[in-house]
Amino acid sequence: MSLKTTSTDRARPGDSRMRVGAKDVARLAGVSTATVSRVMNSPEQVDPDTRRRVTEAAARLRYVPHGAARSLRSHRSKMIGAVIPSFDYALYARTTSALQQRLDERGYSLVLAEHHYDLGAELRVAGQLMEHGVDALVFVGLDHDPNLFGLLDDYGRPYVLTWGVDPYRRHPSVGFDNHAATYEMTRHLLALGHTRFGLLSAPVDGNDRARARGAGMRAALAEAGLQLDESRVAYAPISLAAAQAGMERLLALPSPPTALVATNDVFAVGAMMACRQAGVRIPQDISITGVDNTDLGATQTPGLTSIRTPIIEIGVAAADQLIARLEGREHQDFQSFPIEIIHRGSTGKPAAG
């Protein structure tokens, strides 16, 4: 049995463990609870003098409204749910940070869940967020368990997909063109004269971003009459060590690539490490490119050529869209932000011969 002070002690003076409720504020201010509620939710409807009395009483008692009761009655929780692959990954962390800041400015809180690239887990945690009564939901990517959309439909509240724009316009989404990112990058490498390409990618299953990025590269190659040799493709979960291991395999090939496209900066830096250890010079022996333009890549020697993606913009736009929808204001269901190659020292012409 617990030795904790029990709630029966609350009768004792000075040990008032009772929660302060609207009723207490109402009594102190000499009004009804309805008026207290109005002061909290639509102050303009209340006489300034009454309002002041209530505000003071609330402050004096340190009244904190009971969110659950409010949600139950009003069907609004002032919470937004977000399900992301992992925020032990700089990108999603930054987007999520932007999202949270924007929500906070508008008086919303963020309930966050990860799924670690398991779409079944994503479905499960999305259900938990609905259980908590979030007013709207944010997801990453376009690939999801088919049941997710049924669940969302039942739930009947706004949601938005991020980091990609649904080409079929079935689901509101904000992001950028993942396909174009690697397409442009590959064009850049082709222009430098490369013909032997390698690809370091995240597993594409359930990951539309990785899939689109791989496709973008292949499209650019096809336009140049080239085809990606599948033996020069390595898949790895997003971690430096895994990327490094994948790159070691590519370097050990009889004729390794002279240009490596990594689908994100973490992979690119892992590849750089493998090159350093193997004595392969960048960019003299191999050019390496990333996507997302993170600090990790920018601070390498040489600096990593990468694609700047709208990491912050996505978070802000997602927040703005959802809040606009919740408040019945105008909004855009689909938004695609521009991207841009950032040239640094990790790319160059292939070695002659």
Partner DNA sequence: TTGTAGGCGTTATCAG
Partner DNA sequence: CTGATAACGCCTACAA
Query: What track of x and - describes contact with DNA for positions 147 through 186 (by CB under 7 A)?
Result: ----------------------------------------
Q: CA dihedral defined by 16, 19, 20, 21, rounded to 10 degrees?
A: -150
88, two tokens: 């032990």
Q: Which is nearer to a copy of itself, 111 or 259 (CB)?
A: 111
Q: Which is nearer to a copy of itself, 224 or 240 (CB)?
A: 240
Q: Which is nearer to DNA, 27 or 196 (CB)?
A: 27
- Counting contacts by CB under 8 A, is residue 127 touching a copy of itself? yes
Q: Which is nearest to 348 in space by CA: 252, 282, 275?
A: 282
Q: Which member of 30, 43, 67, 193 binds a copy of itself (CB under 8 A)?
A: 67
Q: Which is nearer to a copy of itself, 190 or 298 (CB)?
A: 298
229, two tokens: 């040799």
- Counting contacts by CB under 8 A, is residue 119 touching a copy of itself? no
Q: Which stretch binds a copy of itself (CB under 8 A): 109-117, 171-179, 227-235, 342-350?
A: 109-117
How far apart (Å, rounded) are the C-alpha atoms in residues 141 and 209?
Answer: 7
- Counting contacts by CB under 8 A, is residue 59 touching a copy of itself? no
For the segment 53-92, give every residue that binds DNA (CB under 7 A). Answer: 63, 65-66, 69-70, 72-74
Residue partners of 20: CB distance under 8 A and separation at least 6: 61, 62, 63, 64
**Binding-site partner at residue 288 among DNA, a copy of itself, none, CB < 5 to 8 Å by type:** none
**Binding-site partner at residue 341 among a copy of itself, DNA, none, CB < 5 to 8 Å by type:** none
Q: Which is nearer to DNA, 47 or 104 (CB)?
A: 47
- Counting contacts by CB under 8 A, is residue 130 touching a copy of itself? yes
Q: Which member of 22, 25, 46, 111 binds a copy of itself (CB under 8 A)?
A: 111
For tokens 């398991």, what's the residue? 118
Q: Which member of 150, 193, 203, 338 binds a copy of itself (CB under 8 A)?
A: 150
Q: Which member of 15, 47, 56, 88 binds a copy of itself (CB under 8 A)?
A: 88
How far apart (Å, rounded) are the C-alpha atoms in residues 334 and 322?
Answer: 12
- Counting contacts by CB under 8 A, is residue 326 touching a copy of itself? no
**Binding-site partner at residue 15 among a copy of itself, DNA, none, CB < 5 to 8 Å by type:** none
The least CB distance from residue 150 to a copy of itself, in Å, is 8
- Counting contacts by CB under 7 A, is residue 49 touching DNA? yes
Q: Which member of 5, 16, 41, 332 binds DNA (CB under 7 A)?
A: 41
For the segment 29-48, give every residue that binds a copy of itself (CB under 8 A). Answer: none
Q: Which is nearer to a copy of itself, 159 or 183 (CB)?
A: 159
Please name every residue paired with 114 in a beta bridge, in sequence order, or none if there are none: 84
Q: Which residues bind a copy of itself (CB under 8 A)?
A: 2, 17, 20, 62, 64-69, 71-72, 77-79, 86-90, 93-94, 96-98, 100-101, 104, 109-114, 125, 127-133, 150-151, 154-156, 240, 266, 269, 272-273, 276, 295-296, 298-301, 328
